[in-house]
Structure 1
Amino acid sequence: MSYPALKDSLLPLLNNGRNSISKRTINCLAGMSITCNDQIYNEIIKFLLIELEKCDNVRAKIYINCLTSICKHSGTRISPYIDTIVALNEKFLQRQEDELIEACLLIFEIFVRRCPKEINAHLLKIINVCIKYIAYDPNYNYDDNDDEDMEMDNDVDEYNGEDDYEEYSDEDDMSWKVRRASAKTLETIILNRLDLLEEFYQLISPTIIMQFREREENVKVDIFNTYIALLRQTRALVTNSENNEKFKQILRDQVPKIVRSLDRQLKEKSIKTRQCCFALLSELVQILPNALADPINEADEKKNYLNNIIPGILYSLNSNNSSSSMKIEALTFLNILFKNHDAQVFQNYFNALITEIRKAVSDDFYKISGEALIVLTELVQIIRPSLSIDSNGIDSNSGAFGYLDTLYSMTYDKLKASDVDLEVKESAINCMAQIICTFGDHMNDEYLFRTFALFLERLKNETTRLTCVRALIKITSFTKPLKLNPMFPEAFSILAQFLKQNKRSIKIHTLILLEKVFKNYNDYCTKEINEEIVKEMVPLISESDLYISQLALATLTAMIMSHKAFHDIIPQRILPEALVLIRSPLMQGSTLMAMLDFFRAIVKSSFPGLDYNELIARLTQPIMQPNQQLHKQAYYSISKCIAAISLLNDKYAASIVSNLIEQIRNPSLVIGNGGSSNQNESVQLYSLLTIAEIGKSLDLEQLQEPLQEALIQSFNSSHEEVKSAASICLGSVSMGNLERNLSFILAEISNNPKRQYLFLNALKEIVSCLSVDHHKICHLEPHFESIVQLLIKYAQCDEE
């Protein structure tokens, strides 16, 4: 069937008396509007507009719904008719027919979403209409004065929602549809016009806050969602904008009104309403930390809004008032509340909160129990800090320790249970780890011993081992040493086996844990244990996974520095793997830094048969070998390693720089007269880069003349890599006498056209070395103008 015939068949059906046929007709016309040509499209729209001029309310609603659906499907094709449709809508809004008003508001919403540019001229008008109709409830009196001036009730037990709200029911009342459509339209405007956020707070926010009292639950949810959308837009802007304090202050000024309006809603019987309250408050406190109780205003009870919020939380946690989902929502919000407020503001609520959290921890539903343990973990972190300073400013933890037995017992009960869900087991392990980290220095040995015995069991269990390793990382990071019996040394054998696992996450966390243990608890480490662990680390040092290699090297460094690892396996098995890895083209960043620390630890520990000179020989061996091809990055890595161990002793550093200068002048000193051109280049390249690394940290002024001669000689090299390395070296060693060397480099850039690129590269190296520290970069200030002019001049050069 052709489009004209289809159009002629469908349009009369809009006037059919049956709603189902009208709705199907609208769907057909909307689908047709996507693909039909402009002539057919315009004929359909013009027909609808002509009919709207002369129809009654019932038919007007059908035609507006049809236009809404067409716009939803065809988008900006309707743009030429938007002004006409808006003008017609204004006329229909005056008829005060609820379902017709709803239809007008819904088409406004679609226009904002699908034609944002074209509707912009009418946006303020639409906002004002929505503000008017979001409070449109002709059949109900909210008693505004009483609501505005009410005293906020803090006693949950005495509250009864039925006393404050009159039950209202009228099947013929359709005004709720108008309010819902207004809320949805405002939400769409907020989500699509971030640029008008400040105006939204002035125009929309006060009305929405007032409408939190809405009597129809479904409408109330949409009103809450509108304000949540406003907060989320604010959060996005505050996170990504430099001018975020302005919006924070605007929102901060509205907090009292928000809390006053939510005070009753938090104690409503409606679960949806309370869930919306917690969702809104969660967004609020993440934008404005300390929004509900600022320690600065602690003495001012009027600004301590926790007096109104905490009772609402306790009401929702009470099993008589809430479903499972409601309890989970309340616990989730409580966790966010703890994270975004200073610890001391919760002092007065600990007893009440712990009582309800304990009930939640003991709940049979695993999701409630698991979420309660997560909240308890956060609560443990704020209990001791909040009670550690008394009114006289003296450290006094006695108040915090009064809660220790309660916190420990409720967590231990879940930790030892074997018939609970995995989520609860993991939350219990994390919570107990936090309790030990917070109170470990005052926990008695019985508590610690039986807890660590359980941790050892959980460590052997495949499902809980990763969580347990993470918990032990937290415990071993504790500032004060603890008695880790009976976990160690038995746990070392288990951890060694974890290093064989294919699962990457367990290997990563095991290595982190071992590093902490070797640093803080090396008394538990015996020679046999170290050998067992080192044996499993050998295959981990590989370029196939640089992050695991980095962690393995860091663990070995901690082991060596604990003076417990003088084992043959390190030079025999570990060092060869490290020397292979150092040649990798991927070796850089944090993995390279871990390698430098590893070599420093070896030199510091004076390994038998592996002193400074022997290590230098092993590092440079691939460079000295004939026909050995190394990646360019390998020279940088080897040079950094040699510089790192040389700088441990200034005598070592000065001596090796002298030798390296001679090697630059005459590479045959180390490779013999029969060395190839490539070998000579390799020796010069490595020597120049090593001097550059040493020159960044050590003043080489006493070797200035021979070094400068060697660098000038390198500038004449036939190998571009050697020239580049020489320019880097010149820039790095210039740090010793920046004033003289910088003037020399700037002069050479202007006076020596053939070597401009090399001296510019040296200047770049100076800037790079100084830019790591804002104090050092100040040394460039006297030369800033001349450097900038020079760079602008050569930026216009024809050569790339």
Structure 2
Amino acid sequence: MDEDTDDETPEDEEDDESANEYTDDEDASWKVRRAAAKCLAGLIVSRSEMISKVYQEACPKLIDRFKEREENVKMDVFNTFIDLLRQTGNVTKGQTDTDESSPKWLLKQEVSKVVKSINRQLREKSVKTKVGAFSVLRELVVVLPDCLADHIGSLVPGIERALNDKSSTSNLKIEALVFTKLVLASHAPPVFHPYIKALSSPVLAAVGERYYKVTAEALRVCGELVRVVRPSTQSMGFDFKPFVHPIYNAIMSRLTNQDQDQEVKESAITCMGLVISTFGDELRKELPSCLPVLVDRMGNEITRLTAVKAFAVIATSPLHIDLSCVLVSLIAELTGFLRKANRVLRQATLITMNTLVTAYGDKIGSDAYEVIVVELSSLISVSDLHMTALALELCCTLMTGKSCSENISLAVRNKVLPQALTLVKSPLLQGQALLVTCSARIFEALVYHANTSFYTLLDSLLSCAKPSPQSGGVPKQALYSIAQCVAVLCLAAGDKNCSSTVKMLMEILKDDSGTNTAKQHLALLSLGEIGRRKDLSAHAGIETIVIESFQSPFEEIKSAASYALGNIAVGNLPNYLPFILNQIDNQQKKQYILLHSLKEVIVRQSVDKADFQNSSVEKILALLFNHCESEEEGVRNVVAECLGKMALIEPEKLVPALKVRTTSQAAFTRATVVTAVKYSVVERPEKLDEIIFPEISSFLMLIKDGDRHVRRAAVAALSTFAHYKPNLIKGLLPELLPLLYDQTVIKKELIRTVDLGPFKHVVDDGLELRKAAFECVFTLLDSCLDQLNPSSFIIPFLKSGLEDHYDLKMLCHLILSLLADKCPSAVLAVLDSLVEPLQKTINFKPKQDAVKQEHDRNEDMIRSALRAISSLDRISGVDYSHKFKSLMADMKRSERLWGKYQTIRNE
């Protein structure tokens, strides 16, 4: 960005008059300045680890160059600064701006200077300059959402001029509106209250523009303006009433105009929903004329989805808007939508109906409810769990509402309950559907509000676990789902019913001969689920009965018994924890199962933030550390998880104890304590973070340990920290990254040949370690990009991975796609070197005698490589790579490859 001594200009190098207008840049060359801006942009996008240095040394000069006299050069300066802002967003994703060396903190120090310089540009006559200035401000708000709180007053005049000036183009108005919408959404409402009048006038005028894109954007700004004018129904000391009718009238004029673009129609509907929801108490006279228009828009296939969502917003309003004039027709329309093929429309309809029933249930007739229940029963299916969850939630709302009648309850029992019971038996049941069903809201509601017998429902649930001649045994996941339903149903039915159910389950475990493993399995899981929610110590001998199930020859029964014992202990820790610890010490053959029980206890305590007694902590730790050197990997993993979760409960004791063992002579112990640290990392802030921060290097530097198991554990721990707590490891990355990259390289000493008689088999013991290392790099690229130099990783490490094992190639294709998106210049610089391994992959053909599985794997590999090629093809300047152009030409000549590639491009 330094100035040169050449005095030519792009317009007229010999124009004396122009020369006289030059200020302190009189001897500067526009070509040099433009080249310098482009060079700096290349550095920014390719060397993300230098972002902080760019802020310290180049950013002030870049901001100074906003005053550049040559418009083309000025646009390049703006674009370079935008690249800097975007890269800052990329490399600091999820990070705070409190670290004084972080790019975000450094950018925050320059905000005042940026705004001051941009304000000068917004006063320029050039439309192109003003568009560029708003682009800079927009990117600034994206990276630092609340950074303009102290500068709104100085920016408002620029927005007004952009929207009001007769010389303003549509592009300028759109840029100004997009920025206004962003800044309104990202700052606290009180910041804008002194300027609402100045902002609202030009925005409402823009709603009446002829060009549909300007109108649509202005309507979106109005939506944000509504939230700012009245952020809550409680008084905030700001008089919003003068703005209600001007906003309403502007939007209503667009809502009632049929002859306009779809984007404008949808924006008007959405905005009117917000207006009614926010200002409904001030628009009582207007509602009878406005609401029917919104209902009418539900009859139009183009606008019905938007109108359905608008009514969801209105129904959730704390103002309890009066919908009596349209409620009957609204419910009828929505019920009809449940039969439509459009899945998105059905989902939005279920959400809207749920909000309407919650807010206006007593005003909706029971006949309408019965029709709704019939429609809901057809939507409950394992083929669409999200839709099922929404349908079940609406059923619960119908039964728990004030207007629930015997007819509605009967309809739910006859139509919905059989579907719910079928659903519970599915191994696919998970996520929201599991939360709704297995929290037993549907069964709970039937017991409480539908007068359904508890024992009838319980028998129905237990019957779900019986194997059928057609489908055979019940899947393991289904048993967990049924057990959770049984537990919550028992608790909902009262202590007496719960106690009798526990006794019945204990009898099953006592009397069952072991022939019906599903029955025993479900009984154990149900006891565990009930015990986790309720103290079962009143049932004498329950722990002994569960322990006896450890004798079962079936692994699933042992696992269920372990789960049950651990969860029962949670209900009464002082009573059951000593029992479990003594059992672990005394039962050598059952230690692995009992450790799982202990894990259930510790995990639950770490979640609930409960503390153990000091004596228990010491005994638990002694027991766990005794098992760190177990020959069984499963035992070591359970011990590591227990230690990790204990660290969340007692960090002051655990961290020093774990650190001491990083220097143990036993490799298994070193690996176990590093894995324990991995299990201690959780997304939420913990007291552990500040205690472990100074000691992290003791664990992660084991990445250079002589044992591959320890190195793999350290890589896994680094990956976990990078994902959940990147700020804790950033200072260590310069030292860790070379060690991590070294783990991605094939080590010949880890490859061995196993003699299997007639043939020999090559085993690569380093494969899992290399896979873990590449996975860790992928995570670091996403969370700590500012600490990485992608160029030093791509060659030779990524290139080596693209030529490695099948699993590693797939992973490297993902990494390459990520790099192409975030660091295109770094990839472009070495693109020729990456073409060859990609070309070999897409042209590879399995042997003629290869089995179907090998052919399928190869097809997956080819598609993966083509996705990476597609990402590379989107890089600006990729045409400069002759090898890549040749690769694309070869693909076009292959009908098979080109067809797959086109399909991937259109995904």
Shorter chain as denominator, the TM-score bin is: 0.7 to 0.9
Residue 238 of structure 1 and its aligned partner are, at CA, apart by: 2.8
Q: Partner amino acid for 1:696?
A: R
Q: Which residue of 2 aligns with 1:16?
A: none
Q: Distance in 2 between matches of 1:678 and 1:604?
A: 36
Please name the residue that 1:195 is paired with: 49
Q: Please tell me the residue identity of whatever aligns with 2:482.
A: I
* SS of alignment partner, residue 489 of structure 1: helix
| Equivalent residue runs for 1:106-145 within 5 Å | 131-133=1-3, 138=7
Q: Deviation per CA, 1:176-228, whole angstroms, max 9, x where unpaired? A: 11110011001111222222222212211111111111111110000111111
Counterpart of 1:695 in 2: which secondary structure?
A: helix
* 8 Å contact from structure 1 (residues 344, 387) kept in 2: no
Instruction: Please report the RMSD computed on the Cα atoms of aligned residues, expressed in angstroms.
Output: 2.5
Partners of 2:5 and 2:84 lie apart in 1 by: 21
> What are the residue-to-residue correspondences of 1:659-678 with 2, within 5 Å?
659-667=504-512, 678=515
Q: How many Å apart are 1:388 and its aligned residue? A: 6.5
Q: Deviations over 1:715-742 (max 9, x none)?
A: 2223322222111111111113213422
Matches within 5 A, 1:746-785: 746-773=581-608, 775-776=609-610, 778-779=611-612, 783-784=616-617
Cα-to-partner distance string for 1:63-107 (whole Å, 9 max, x where unaligned):
xxxxxxxxxxxxxxxxxxxxxxxxxxxxxxxxxxxxxxxxxxxxx
- Alpha-carbon offset, residue 704 of structure 1: 3.3
Q: Could you say which residue in structure 2 is the equivalent of 1:413?
A: 253
The answer to whether residue 411 in structure 2 is matched with residue 569 in structure 1 is: yes
CA distance in 2, matches of 1:309, 1:283: 15
Partner of residue 632, structure 2: 799
1:633-677 CA distance string (max 9 Å, x none): 221111111111111212221121112111211138xxxxxxxx5
1:305 partner amino acid: H
Shift of 1:523: 2.1
Contact 2:467 2:473 (8 Å CA) reproduced: no
Shift of 1:504: 1.2
Question: Aligned partners of 1:403, 1:640: CA distance in 2, in Å?
Answer: 52
Tell me which structure has the larger Cα radius of gyration.
Answer: 1
Assess if the C-alpha contact under 8 Å between 1:646 and 1:652 holds in 2: yes
Do the aligned partners of 2:5 and 2:28 also contact (CA within 8 Å) in 1? no
State the Cα distance separating 1:795 from its structure 2 match: 4.3
Query: Which of 427, 431, 440 is the aligned partner of 2:271?
Result: 431
2:301 corresponds to 1:462: yes
- Give the direction of change, closer, same or farther, for the CA distance of 1:174–1:521 in structure 2 (3 Å limit): same
- Name the residue aligned to 1:702: 538
SS at match of 1:502: coil
What residue number does 1:286 align with? 142
Letter of the 2:243 counterpart: Y
Q: Which residue matches 1:630?
A: 474
Match for 1:656: what amino acid?
Answer: T
Q: Paired residue for 1:380, among 226, 232, 236?
A: 226
Deviations 1:526-574, CA, capped at 9 Å, x for gaps? 1110111111111211100001000000000000111425333222221
Unmatched segments (≥5 aa) in structure 1? 1-130, 141-163, 294-303, 390-394, 669-676
Match of 1:55 in 2: none
Alignment of 1:169-568 (within 5 A): 175-241=29-95, 245-246=99-100, 247-293=103-149, 304-385=150-231, 395-396=236-237, 399-444=239-284, 446-562=285-401, 563-567=403-407, 568=410
Match of 1:686 among 491, 498, 522: 522
- Separation in structure 2 between the aligned mates of residue 337 and residue 243 of structure 1, nearest angstrom: 19
Shift of 1:255: 2.0
Q: Measure how far apart 1:442 and its partner are.
A: 3.0
2:439 matched to 1:593? no
Q: Distance in 2 between matches of 1:727 and 1:379?
A: 57
C-alpha deviation, 1:618, in angstroms: 1.4
| Residues 136 and 207 (structure 1), Cα distance of their counterparts in 2 relative to 1, 3 Å cut | farther
Alpha-carbon shift at residue 136 of structure 1 (Å): 6.5
Say yes or no: does 1:714 pair with 2:560: no
Provide the secondary structure at the position in 1 that maps to 2:277: helix
Which of residues 635, 638, 642 in structure 1 aligns to 2:486? 642
Q: In the alignment, does 2:578 pair up with 1:743?
A: yes
Once the two structures are aligned, what percentage of the paired residues are identical? 37
Change (3 A) 1:318 1:655: same
Given the superposition, is the C-alpha separation of residues 386 and 479 from structure 1 closer, same or farther in structure 2, using an over 3 Å criterion?
closer
Cα 1:502–1:792 change in 2 (3 A) is farther
CA distance in 1, matches of 2:135, 2:313: 31
The structure-2 alpha-carbon separation of the partners of 1:678 and 1:519, relative to structure 1 and needing over 3 Å to count, comes to farther
- Report if aligned partners of 1:735, 1:766 keep a CA contact under 8 Å in 2: yes
Tell me the distance in 2 between the aligned counterparts of 1:306 and 1:724. Answer: 61
Q: Tell me which residue corresponds to 2:12.
A: none
Determine if contact 1:238/1:244 at 8 Å carries over to the other structure: no
CA contact (8 A) 2:315 2:356 kept: yes
Letter in 2 for 1:797: S
Whole-angstrom distance in 2 between the partners of 1:249 and 1:367: 36
Tell me the TM-score normalized by structure 2: 0.65
Higher mean Cα deviation, 589-598 or 691-700? 589-598
1:674-711 per-residue CA deviation (whole Å, 9 max, x = no partner) reads: xxx543x2222111111111101111111132x12321
CA contact (8 A) 1:388 1:396 kept: no
Q: 1:464-505 CA deviation, whole Å, 9 max, x = no partner?
A: 011111111111111231111322111222111211122211
Per-residue deviation at 1:429?
0.8
Residues 88-99 of structure 1: pairs in structure 2 closer than 5 A: none
1:750-795 deviations in Å (ceiling 9; x for gaps)? 221111121011112112322332x22x337754454445445434
**Could you tell me how far apart the structure 2 residues matched to 1:270 and 1:467 are?**
38
Name the aligned partner's letter for residue 158 of structure 2. Answer: G
Q: Corresponding residue for 1:611?
A: 453
Q: CA separation in 1, counterparts of 2:187 and 2:6?
A: 38
Q: 1:624 to 1:264 in 2, by over 3 A?
A: closer
Instruction: Give the equivalent residue in structure 2 for 1:724.
Output: 559
1: distance between equivalents of 2:529 and 2:597? 14
1:441 deviates by 2.8
State the one-letter code of the partner of 2:372: I
Relative contact order, higher structure (CA 8 A, sep 6+): 2
Q: Could you tell me which residue of structure 1 aligns to residue 641 of structure 2?
A: none
* Kept in 1: contact 2:534–2:571 (CA 8 A): yes
1:728–1:166 Cα change, 3 Å: farther
Contact 2:207 2:215 in 1 (8 A): yes
Query: Quick one: which amino acid aligns to residue 561 of structure 1?
Result: T
Task: State the partner residue of 1:392.
Answer: none
> Of the candidates 427, 440, 446, which is equivalent to residue 602 of structure 1?
446
Work out the CA distance in 2 between the residues paired with 1:780 and 1:420: 71
- Alpha-carbon distance between aligned partners in 1 of 2:329 and 2:589, rounded to the nearest angstrom: 68
Q: Do 2:277 and 2:319's aligned partners in 1 also have CA atoms closer than 8 Å? A: no
Q: Distance in 2 between matches of 1:658 and 1:784?
A: 32
| Structure 2: runs of 5+ lacking an equivalent | 10-17, 634-907
Asked if the contact 2:262/2:302 (under 8 Å) is kept, the reply is: yes
Query: For 1:782 and 1:224, how far apart are their aligned partners in 2?
Result: 65
Residue matched to 1:107: none
| Cα contact 1:556–1:598 (8 A) shared by 2 | yes
Q: What CA distance in whole angstroms lies between the structure 2 residues aligned with 1:731 and 1:378?
A: 50
Q: 1:259 to 1:622 in 2, by over 3 A?
A: closer
Contact 1:237–1:244 (Cα < 8 Å) also in 2: no
- For the 8 Å contact 1:665–1:713, the answer to whether it is kept is no
